[in-house]
Structure 1
Amino acid sequence: MAFQDLLDQVGGLGRFQILQIVCLCISSIIVFPHVLLENFTAAIPGHRCWVHILDNDTVSANGTGLLSQDTLLRISIPLDSNLRPENCRRFLHPQWQLLHLNGTFPNVSELDTEPCVNGWVYDQSSFSSTIVTEWDLVCEFQSLISVSKFLVMAGMLVGGIIYGHLSDRWLAESARWLIITNKPEEALNKLRKAAHRNGRKNVADTLTLEVLRSTTQEELEAAQNKPPVYDLFRTRNLRKRICVLSFMRFTTFLPYFGLNLHVQHLGKNVFLSQVLFGVVTLPSNYVALLALNHLGRRVSQMLFLFLLGISILITTFVPEEMQSLRVALATFGVGVSSAASTSSATHGNELIPTVVRAVAVGVIGIAANIGAAVAPLLMILTVYSSHLPWIIYGVSPILSALAVRLLPETRNQPLPDSIQDVENERKDWRKAKQEEISMKVTPF
């Protein structure tokens, strides 16, 4: 397009663009840690039922002071299938006969047990206090943790809609968008500012309104008919892109936040896992950049999404005793999920015409935030199966990878400026296909 010529003159990637990227990174650094705080503020420490003879200091001192804590624990708390003390039940009465079984374990289901009617005792070795210990969000109340995480993500969804609209008043607009929306004077000021910061002062002086109008005549003519919002879904090709991109962003953010919001389910050491997740993010984005430039948008996304789904599914069925392998697979999954998100955002921006890009990105962003909000709610399904949420997290990016095939490749292609550009791509593709078929038929 003609605007690309102007962009090359003022500097396609210089200090001006780098400054914009730095400002965006700073805002992301400030915001994203608030989401990750849920891994610590809502951590579930080890817990068991409060037991009268074990946790009441007066009783222990008077009647059972000669018995060890392990002995009192054995007669007070039943063992689960892994021979560990139950988290959510206790014996109705102390089972003194268990002290004389010489290491054998009876059928606990035959003994009378009850829920933790007097509360819980928590392991404070890692976390002195969390919302779980503060409000006893364990056992039958554990699903409320997922609800609290959902409310945080739902707040981000609502905030993104409200403040995303308000931010248009304060953020610097794109010069391309200003041209498309028939604001050539403001676009000229933006281009001069970019040229000046990129060290191209001569271009800034020679770039006039007349030059801008003559160079971008096609874009200005298209701007005379500003499309309404419903035009996102009026034309067939653009409607298809919006729907596919929304589905892809939903199914990409679902496992992305499923991994990042449930670190404790992937490894016992939350602090180590969180550090590894953060460290792997930077190189994964660099790998995404290399893949986008060398493999193309579609192949890169399909590769990252398939790897993400497979890594989650494998992690789901790795025994908890193999902690190192689980953490390694989870870290790999976080890395490819970050790369997949970067690839998806890049591809999506290149598929949407400039005239409606801001609105389209907002619609697709809502789908992404819905996926982020649904991710913690899926953990409620653990009451049916502990593997079920993770299976969904693993299958969703595979479905997203399959959906990538419905979108065209955009590497080394000009950005579409108008909706007509998107529809013409479909016609050009059909024309090229017909020419290809005719060339194959002609020799015979």
Structure 2
Amino acid sequence: MNRFEEVINTVGGFGRNQKLQYLLLCIIGGSTAFFQMGNTFYSASADHYCQVYDVQIYADDSPLKNCTIPYSLEGEDISWDKCQRYDVNVSRGISAELCSSRSEETVSCDQGWVYDKTWYENTVVYEYNLVCSNDWMKQLSKSIVPLGNLVGVVIFGQLSDIFGRRPIFFITMLLSIATAIATSFAPSYPLFVIGQFFLGAFPHSLFVTACVMVMEIVALEYRTMCGTLTHLAFSIFYMLFGVIALLSNGDWRLTQLIVGIIWAFYLPSFFFILETPMWLLRKHRYDDAEKVLKKYAKFNKTTLPDDMFDKDREIYLRLKEETVEEKSRQYTVIDLFRTPRLCLNTILMCINWFSCSFVYYGISLNTDQLGSNPYITFMLAGFVEVPGCLMAWWLMRALGRRWSLAGFAVIGGAALMLSVPPKESIPVLSVAVAMLAKLCIAAVFSIVFVYGAEIYPTVVRNAGMGVSSLSARIGSIISPFVVLLDVYWGPLPFIVMGVTSVIAGLLALLLPETRNKTLPETLEEGEAFGRKDYKKTNSEGGEGKEMASTDRENKVKQNDIALSDDDQEKKTVL
């Protein structure tokens, strides 16, 4: 049995202590959906046309609108111009004579716009007039959060591997709370964008760290369940955010403030969430690991032997004298690309993360365009993720990670390619097909988080998750702008996203299967992972045992010591 498995099963593989921590990690990590999905409502738009006097309000049809706004007929439908108005002075009121004698010349909306506030009381689009020539600024506000994701995971992913999971988890939590509350009072669009950038960086880094922590506090047989249900929590809070936005009447400042206040209630979790014993053991901090595991044992009503780590300390001291240079090394993202097999696995994983994020946010951030009620459509898009996550959990156990990932990605991509925008189809059918695609892509997201945490060696696991998440952020940055391709052909954005998903799904078949495998810890094991000589080990039902690779066995024999976790940075099973 792997050393970490032996230790964690001694105190309880998924005892009451881990269950409490897991619940807190799910709640806090899941509610990062408030930040990831925020701009669906913050940057939402609605029907609008040129304003011609100061206190004007929106009207779907009125004598004033008929007199001042150009329109065209599309069959039986009237299409009103959103960016131009007739050059007519209505300061003294309107009359049939004034309207009939107006010039047909048009001017830009120099006095601003009036907006349909049926669904949204105040959005960033309304407040800063992000329409017409400024429409790109609305798309920028949607792309800035994933840009923050990209920067955050690179920085905090590396820091988490160096300084520990727990410090980074709580630092990013504090920064998220402060930034959320401050952003709700942003007096200008540039400050709003800056706030959204940091609300992309801090909460998402917390979520990635939480996913790693979940996998590092439970025994092997629970990791698939725990990893998948973490994403189920994200989907639940996704739906809850729709309720918060609805109760806020679509006021972006109030919604942002409520989110910040909710997160402030998470601060007491500091006293319950501990550093992961897996990270402590890998860093050879045996005294700290012993303290954490004794807390596990006390809460789980088990015992930790006093001499549990005596041999580990002895082995570590012996190896430290012989391999001082190797043991003091800090691993970085660059190590993921040093060897061919690990490099290929990293590239393939990055492609799949890019694809699922590209499609996921392409659908999620535009749910307000899919149905008549944006709140119901948004919550429906969150709801379909629940069966997606549950199906992913079951299929990962039944078929493995590789085939589950490929299957969901290909089916989701095909659904997108078969769908067309609502304006060109039956709206209910279009929404239904889009929701099927959303279900599949949500399942893909659940799988890649588990798959990524398993396929990267322990010494670069958080860095590997960081570079994968970086690739995902590139996809989510691009996705709001791909939607603009509909000006050339309505189905084009759907086809681009669908083709991307299908290609990524087929490439996933080149990845090694991780189900029922003892996972790599060192770079050497990461390179050997997937080869025939890297043998099958403990299943998620607890079967079998792992035999280490030949190179590692030889090295242990040369040191004349039994194989243990600390021979080379602890062979820990996630």
Q: Normalised by the size of structure 2, how large is the TM-score?
A: 0.62
Conserved in 2, the CA contact under 8 Å of 1:273 and 1:331?
no
In structure 1, stretches of 5+ residues that fail to align are 57-67, 101-110, 433-444
Could you tell me which residue of structure 1 aligns to residue 234 of structure 2?
none
Query: For 1:414 and 1:219, how far apart are their aligned partners in 2?
Result: 23
Instruction: State the 1:430 CA deviation.
Output: 9.7
Query: For 1:270 and 1:3, how far apart are their aligned partners in 2?
Result: 48
Q: Deviations over 1:256-282 (max 9, x none)?
A: 111111112222311111121222233
Is residue 365 of structure 1 aligned with residue 469 of structure 2? Answer: yes
Structure 1 residue identity aligned to 2:80? E
Conserved in 1, the CA contact under 8 Å of 2:143 and 2:477?
yes
Is residue 139 of structure 1 aligned with residue 132 of structure 2? Answer: yes
Q: Deviations over 1:245-300 (max 9, x none)?
A: 12211111111111111112222311111121222233322221111111110111
Could you tell me which residue of structure 2 aligns to residue 331 of structure 1?
435
Query: For 1:303 and 1:365, how far apart are their aligned partners in 2?
Result: 21
Secondary structure of the residue aligned to 1:84 is strand
Aligned positions, number:
407
Distance 1:138 1:381, change over 3 A: same
**Aligned counterpart in structure 1 of residue 285 of structure 2, from 158, 183, 206:** 183
**Aligned counterpart in structure 1 of residue 114 of structure 2, from 116, 121, 133:** 121
Is residue 234 of structure 1 aligned with residue 315 of structure 2? Answer: no
Instruction: State the 1:215 CA deviation.
Output: 10
Distance 1:166 1:420, change over 3 A: closer
Distance 1:298 1:216, change over 3 A: farther
Conserved in 2, the CA contact under 8 Å of 1:42 and 1:145?
yes
Distance 1:345 1:208, change over 3 A: same
Distance 1:71 1:314, change over 3 A: farther
Is residue 397 of structure 1 aligned with residue 497 of structure 2? Answer: no
**Aligned counterpart in structure 2 of residue 150 of structure 1, from 143, 146, 164:** 143
Could you tell me which residue of structure 1 aligns to residue 218 of structure 2?
none
Distance 1:155 1:427, change over 3 A: closer
Is residue 84 of structure 1 aligned with residue 91 of structure 2? Answer: no
**Aligned counterpart in structure 2 of residue 209 of structure 1, from 306, 309, 320:** 309
Is residue 374 of structure 1 aligned with residue 478 of structure 2? Answer: yes
Q: How does 1:150-299 map to 2 (within 5 A)?
A: 150-164=143-157, 168-169=163-164, 170=167, 172-201=274-303, 204-205=304-305, 208-210=308-310, 212=312, 224=327, 226=329, 228-229=331-332, 230-299=334-403
Query: For 2:395 and 2:531, how far apart are their aligned partners in 1?
Result: 29
Could you tell me which residue of structure 1 aligns to residue 559 of structure 2?
none
Instruction: State the 1:427 CA deviation.
Output: 4.7
Query: For 1:28 and 1:162, how far apart are their aligned partners in 2?
Result: 18
Conserved in 2, the CA contact under 8 Å of 1:180 and 1:219?
no
Distance 1:215 1:330, change over 3 A: farther
Instruction: State the 1:84 CA deviation.
Output: 2.0
Query: For 2:295 and 2:279, how far apart are their aligned partners in 1?
Result: 16
Conserved in 1, the CA contact under 8 Å of 2:149 and 2:470?
no
Instruction: State the 1:355 CA deviation.
Output: 1.9
Could you tell me which residue of structure 1 aligns to residue 527 of structure 2?
423
Secondary structure of the residue aligned to 2:31 is helix
Q: Deviations over 1:292-313 (max 9, x none)?
A: 1111101111121122212222
User: What's the Cα RMSD here?
Assistant: 3.7
Could you tell me which residue of structure 1 aligns to residue 50 of structure 2?
49
Conserved in 2, the CA contact under 8 Å of 1:188 and 1:212?
no
Secondary structure of the residue aligned to 2:114 is strand
Conserved in 2, the CA contact under 8 Å of 1:49 and 1:77?
no
Could you tell me which residue of structure 2 aligns to residue 28 of structure 1?
29
Instruction: State the 1:414 CA deviation.
Output: 0.8
Query: For 1:166 and 1:181, how far apart are their aligned partners in 2?
Result: 14
* Most deviating of 70-79 and 394-403: 70-79
Query: For 1:403 and 1:388, how far apart are their aligned partners in 2?
Result: 23
Q: How does 1:342-353 map to 2 (within 5 A)?
A: 342-353=446-457
Conserved in 2, the CA contact under 8 Å of 1:78 and 1:90?
no
Q: Deviations over 1:104-129 (max 9, x none)?
A: xxxxxxx7655445543322222232
Distance 1:327 1:431, change over 3 A: closer
Conserved in 1, the CA contact under 8 Å of 2:154 and 2:463?
no
Distance 1:370 1:123, change over 3 A: same
Query: For 1:289 and 1:387, how far apart are their aligned partners in 2?
Result: 32
Secondary structure of the residue aligned to 2:468 is helix
Structure 1 residue identity aligned to 2:288? E
Query: For 2:535 and 2:27, how far apart are their aligned partners in 1?
Result: 46
Query: For 2:355 and 2:10, how far apart are their aligned partners in 1?
Result: 39
Query: For 2:133 and 2:141, how far apart are their aligned partners in 1?
Result: 15
Conserved in 1, the CA contact under 8 Å of 2:336 and 2:342?
yes
Conserved in 1, the CA contact under 8 Å of 2:68 and 2:85?
no
Structure 1 residue identity aligned to 2:79? P
Distance 1:214 1:349, change over 3 A: farther
Conserved in 2, the CA contact under 8 Å of 1:255 and 1:397?
yes
Conserved in 2, the CA contact under 8 Å of 1:180 and 1:417?
no
Secondary structure of the residue aligned to 2:419 is helix
Conserved in 1, the CA contact under 8 Å of 2:456 and 2:464?
yes
- For the pair shown, which has the larger CA radius of gyration, 1 or 2? 1
Distance 1:80 1:429, change over 3 A: farther
Distance 1:232 1:166, change over 3 A: closer
* Most deviating of 383-392 and 131-140: 383-392
Could you tell me which residue of structure 2 aligns to residue 354 of structure 1?
458
Conserved in 1, the CA contact under 8 Å of 2:158 and 2:462?
no
Could you tell me which residue of structure 1 aligns to residue 232 of structure 2?
none
Query: For 1:380 and 1:291, how far apart are their aligned partners in 2?
Result: 35
Identity %, equivalent residues: 29
